[in-house]
Amino acid sequence: MIPDESRFESDPEEIVGDEPTGLAEGWSVGTPDPADRFELARLTQLLRDHERAGRGWAGAGVDDVLVEVSEAGLRTRENVVVRDETGLIQAWGSVHDRAGGRMLFVHVVSRELDEATGRACSDLLVEWSVGQAVAVGTARGLEVQQIDTGAYAGDERQARWLAASGFTRVRTWWQMSRPVGRDEGALVPSVESWSTPKGVRIRQVRRADDGMPEESDLRAVHDVLEEAFLDHFNSWEETFDEFLHRLREDPGHRWDHWWLAELEDDGEAVGALVGTVSEGGPGQPDGSYVSYIGVREAARGRGVAKGLLRTIVADAALRGRDRVGLEVDADSSTGADGLYTSMGWETRYVTESWHRDVPVG
């Protein structure tokens, strides 16, 4: 469940000291102020520069930064920044208590720094993340806490610094996108509810009288995804409360982008898809994104995944969107990439997972 208080250490000096090693005179560590619009803009700029250097274009906005630094997120997150002698933020780290045993780590260093200065900032961010891994792992009663961070394939600076800091590249992910035509709203009879020829009903999660989703449907989505991902890479058990809290933090979260697949003969939930909105650039249409899609093993081979994907494509078309994105494990043995490719998805760029296991005791 979501803790009442953060499991992290809120004071970065408790981890890296009040005079961190390697920083130039006048440089300091601290925490960002989300109420300061200049600092918020600076963090957004750093993140966008990081994206542009890694994959060729920037997509992040202020809302993506607020997920990490706002007061609402600090029960499961903590942040650190490195400021130069003028007070300008030059590096930013964020950790997320994602699930028992798995801690996500955002690692962003200004692209304008020289190698030595940038590396010193990177080393400090890593040192802080290791200290936070010990803190959250201790609070959870673990012996080892995993730090899970990432890089864009081809970002040599990020890969070099992570490898030097004890991280290992463990997985590759294809970030795929599919164009959506206006006429594809007719791909399925209704995005609210329809039945496949193989006896599977696909429907949006039901709403209660107050407009909120029925908890039983949300729990069904969680249960399906937990079971479907048991045999997937780096799958960690996530409680219902953790799952719901995390997905609702996403700036693109919408309840009417959640679908369940059920067997018509007994109503058993066998598949689920959680979608989000991907904002377009200035003057550009939004897109949809498949945050999660999972099918229980007993129902595989009945076209459940294909039916769910056709539904979100049709939904995107009806909303005037021009694309649907998703992520697929490039090393998976499930053959999911074949399904996506056959339905029109193509890889736009590639990302990597880098891990480091930290002994807690």
In this prediction, residue 142 carries a pLDDT of 94
pTM of the model: 0.91
CB atoms within 10 A of CB 60: 17
Token reading at 268: 């058993």
* 6 three-class SS: coil
Residue 124, pLDDT above cutoff 60:
yes
Q: Residue 299 contacts by C-beta under 8 Å, 6 or more apart in sequence?
A: 200, 261, 263, 270, 271
User: What span, in angstroms and rounded, lies between the C-alpha atoms of 94 and 77?
Assistant: 7
- Whether the per-residue pLDDT at 63 is higher than 70: the answer is yes
* Cα–Cα separations (whole angstroms), residue 60 to 136, 302, 307, 334, 357: 27, 37, 30, 31, 29
Averaged over 143-160, what is the pLDDT?
97
pLDDT confidence tier of residue 337, bands split at 50, 70 and 90:
confident
**Fold (CATH) for 13-174:** Aminopeptidase (3.40.630)
Q: Give mean pLDDT, residues 206-219.
A: 92
Instruction: Work out the burial of residue 225: count CB atoms within 10 Å of its CB; fewer than 13 is exposed, 13-18 middle, 19 or more buried.
Output: buried
State how far the Cα of 116 lies from the Cα of 234, in Å rounded to an integer.
33
Residue 333: what pLDDT? 67
Task: Provide the pLDDT for residue 234.
Answer: 62
Three-state DSSP at 325 gives strand
- The residues spanned by each domain of the chain are 13-174, 181-321
Q: Are 253 and 297 in contact (CB under 8 A)?
A: no
> What is the rounded CA–CA span in Å between residue 281 and residue 200?
37
Options 3.40.605.10, 3.40.630.30, 3.40.50.11740, 3.40.50.460; CATH for 181-321 is: 3.40.630.30
Residue 246 confidence class, pLDDT cut points 50, 70, 90: confident
The number of beta carbons lying within 10 Å of the beta carbon of residue 346 is 11
83: pLDDT strictly greater than 60: yes
